[in-house]
Amino acid sequence: MNNQLTRYAPGSIRELWTIAWPLIIASAANIVMIVSDRIVVSKYSNAAFQAMSGTISWWYTIYFTALNVALVADVFVGRFNGSKDYKKIGSALWQMIWFGLALFPLMLVVTIWAAPYLLAESLQQLGLPYMRILLIAIPIPVIAMGALGSFFTGRGKTKIILYISVICNIINILLDIALVFGFGPFPELGLTGAGIATVVAQTVELLLFSLLIFRKKNSAVYRIFDFRFDWRLFRQGLKIGLPNAIDCFIGGFLWASIIQMAALNVSSEQFTILFMGQTCYLTLYFMIEGVGQGVGIVTSNGYGAKNWDMIKKNMRSWMRLALMAGALSFITMVAYPVPLIALLRPTDMSISEPLVNQTLFTMWLWLLTDAYAFNLRMSLTAFGDTRFTMIVNPLCFTVICAIPSYIGLHFFHDILCIGTSGACAYFASSAICFLRLKKQLARAQHSI
């Protein structure tokens, strides 16, 4: 069986793009699922829009922390595919499925007892029911995108992810409109309706992945029904995934705390603009996430095949793609941001156009630096060097972003400090991780 990922030269920009573009579109579809909630809710009421801003940051923190562990399946599948150990792939998936299932009791505790303490008082009335709906369902997308999705992404079969994401995104958008505003037989549920729509779409996503993967034809080649708990493999997955998860949790916790502090220290107008800017950032994040996943897939396969030249070529390729993504995001966020602003502007509140433009510029700087930092982290993850990123990224974010943001919000009541300090933090993280990756490559070549 040929384990070459595409028909193009290994490590080339064509190979990376062939793998990445379905992931980019799939990521865009998943992000549109989230952004569509924000657009619909912004047209419902500014109060609901603001409550969503304080809530969704905590959901991101917990969801992506868990997802960083589950995505270790991506690394394992890539390595096993690169080394042609195909019969180990099924067991790798199941270890992360068990991890996702184990999250249910934990999320029940967080939903019932911890959730009320996470939101600023002004956001609780509308935000708490929405938060509880999303938190209790977190294991569903973790298993779907983290464990089951890795069966396709780790082998370079990324178009499946695209098709499923588009289907579920359409379901989410239709349910959003119906449940937020009330349409036909559906009641008007406001922000709570947006949460229900998201969970329903995520459940459909899980079911579709399951139907495609758990089939007899996958049993012989990949042993897809090998559901035994393998402590050795599970522990190896935790060893790789936990550092990235801890890194993600620290960064997410600090960001969510910044949002709560902003709710307490800036005007209602500034708080709305901050969430608009963060949403524009998220709207274009699909380029970073899609390319980054592609980088991880190519690097993992190169690592499994011990093809270090392929990894070097891939590194040059993703740097060029990241630069192109930065140019595209500059057009949509800085040069001509009118369409994004029009989509997210709450209908019952006036906002300052100059402040919106300034906020979008700082968020664009953050997006650009994050693109390089994310790709470097994915490359180091493929090498299993996640302990390093666990130290570097939280340290940079805490010292260079979180502390200056807290000072700026508390003493100067200014939201512009957030995007500026965030860009500086990711620039520093990128520089350090780049040097580390070069060292890892040199060490790997020397060990041959």
Q: Which of 168, 197, 195, 124 is nearest to 30 (CA)?
A: 168
CA angle 77-282-116, nearest 5°?
A: 95
Residue 310 is assigned to a structural domain of this protein? yes
Rounded to whole angstroms, the Cα distance separating 428 from 436 reads 13
Q: Which two tokens stand for residue 422?
A: 């965030």
Rounded to whole angstroms, the Cα distance separating 265 from 409 reads 6
The pTM assigned to this predicted structure is 0.80
Residues in the chain: 448
Q: Which two tokens stand for residue 287?
A: 């380029």
Q: Tell me the Cα Rg of the chain.
A: 21
Of the chain, the end-to-end C-alpha distance in Å amounts to 25
Q: Are the C-beta atoms of 100 and 234 separated by less than 8 Å?
A: no
Q: Which two tokens stand for residue 105?
A: 């009791």
Domain membership of residue 286 as a residue range:
13-446
CA angle 301-88-386, nearest 5°?
A: 50
Given 3-state DSSP classes, what are the helix, strand and coil percentages for the chain, each rounded to the nearest 5?
A: 85, 0, 15
Rounded to whole angstroms, the Cα distance separating 101 from 105 reads 9
Residue 7 is assigned to a structural domain of this protein? no
Rounded to whole angstroms, the Cα distance separating 116 from 86 reads 46
Predicted pLDDT at 1: 46
Burial code of 188-207, b = ≥16 C-beta within 10 A, e = fewer? ebbbbbbbbbbbbbbbbbbe
CA 298, 299, 301, 302 torsion: positive or negative? positive
Q: Which two tokens stand for residue 444?
A: 């790997």
Note the pLDDT tens digit of each residue in 108-147.
999 999 998 999 888 899 999 999 999 999 999 999 988 8
Phi, psi of 336 (to 5 degrees): -145, 75
Q: Which two tokens stand for residue 398?
A: 């805490």
Residue 221 is assigned to a structural domain of this protein? yes
CA angle 340-346-350, nearest 5°?
A: 100
CA 159, 164, 165, 171 torsion: positive or negative? positive
**Residue 51 carries which side chain, given as an amino acid letter?**
A
Residue 2 is assigned to a structural domain of this protein? no
Predicted pLDDT at 127: 93
Distances 418 to 1, 175, 381 between C-alpha atoms, Å: 50, 33, 27
DSSP string, 159-221: HHHHHHHHHHHHHHHHHHHHHHHT-TTS---THHHHHHHHHHHHHHHHHHHHHHHSSTHHHHH
Residue 8 is assigned to a structural domain of this protein? no
Q: Which of 345, 209, 282 is nearest to 31 (CA)?
A: 282
Angle, helices 386-396 vs 416-446, to 10°: value is 160
Q: Are the C-beta atoms of 86 and 80 separated by less than 8 Å?
A: yes
Residue 35 is assigned to a structural domain of this protein? yes
Those residues whose C-beta lies under 8 Å from the C-beta of residue 379, and which sit 6 or more positions away, are: 295, 296, 299, 311, 315, 437
Predicted pLDDT at 139: 95
Q: Which two tokens stand for residue 265?
A: 């220290």
Q: Which two tokens stand for residue 215?
A: 């089939």
Residue 207 is assigned to a structural domain of this protein? yes
Residues in the chain, pLDDT under 70: 1-6, 11, 22-23, 25-31, 447-448
The residue to which tokens 């008007």 are assigned: 188
Residue 6 is assigned to a structural domain of this protein? no
Q: Which two tokens stand for residue 74?
A: 């991506």
Predicted pLDDT at 64: 85
What's the domain count of the chain?
1
Phi, psi of 367 (to 5 degrees): -60, -45
Q: DSSP strand E in 84-185: where?
A: none
Rounded to whole angstroms, the Cα distance separating 295 from 395 reads 24
Q: Which of 394, 405, 425, 428 is nearest to 244 (CA)?
A: 394
The residue to which tokens 């549109």 are assigned: 32
